[in-house]
Structure 1
Amino acid sequence: MTQQNATRLFQAVKKDQALQQKLKATADPEAFIKIAKERGYDFTTDELENEINKLSEEDLAAIVNPGWGTRRHILPR
């Protein structure tokens, strides 16, 4: 169940700019987990790492640093 909480958190982060900014402001996994728990998401650092490893580079960039994700060109060069 706690692994599902990590998954749900990342889904929520994609939609919530305020939560993105709050999580982006910390590089400490324990602080990240504390913020998540305040929002009702309970998981361990190992479960967080497992979920991060499942994300694509683009999804991770959108969570960690919104606006700097992988660039896609409409017309490939």
Structure 2
Amino acid sequence: MTQQNATQLLEAVKEDQALQARLKATDNPEAFIKIARECGYDFTIEELEAEISQLSDEELAAIVNPGWGTRRHIHPR
């Protein structure tokens, strides 16, 4: 069940800019977990890392920097 909480948090981060800003403001995994728990998500650092490892580069980029979409339409010079 806690692995599902990590999944739900990552989905919520895509939609909630305030939550996204709070989580991006920390690079400390313990602080990240604490913020997630305050929002009702309960999981371990290992479960979060496992969930993140399953994301594609594009999915991870959408969470980390949602203002930048995929750039597949741009051709390198």
| Counterpart code for 2:22 | K
Aligned partners of 1:60 and 1:10: how far apart in 2?
9
Mark the runs of 5 or more structure 2 residues left unpaired by the alignment: none
Q: CA RMSD in A?
A: 1.8
Sequence identity (%): 74
Give TM-score, length-normalised by structure 2. Answer: 0.86
Give TM-score, length-normalised by structure 1. Answer: 0.86
Q: Which portions of structure 1, spanning 4 or more consecutive aligned residues, are displaced by more than 6 angstroms? A: none
- CA displacement at 1:34 relative to structure 2: 0.5
- CA displacement at 1:61 relative to structure 2: 1.4
Mark the runs of 5 or more structure 1 residues left unpaired by the alignment: none
Given that residues 52 and 60 in structure 2 are in contact (C-alpha distance below 8 angstroms), is that contact kept between their aligned partners in structure 1? yes
| Counterpart code for 1:25 | A
Aligned partners of 1:56 and 1:5: how far apart in 2?
19
CA gap of 1:53–1:69, structure 2 versus 1, over 3 A, is farther
State the number of aligned residues. Answer: 76
- CA displacement at 1:65 relative to structure 2: 2.6
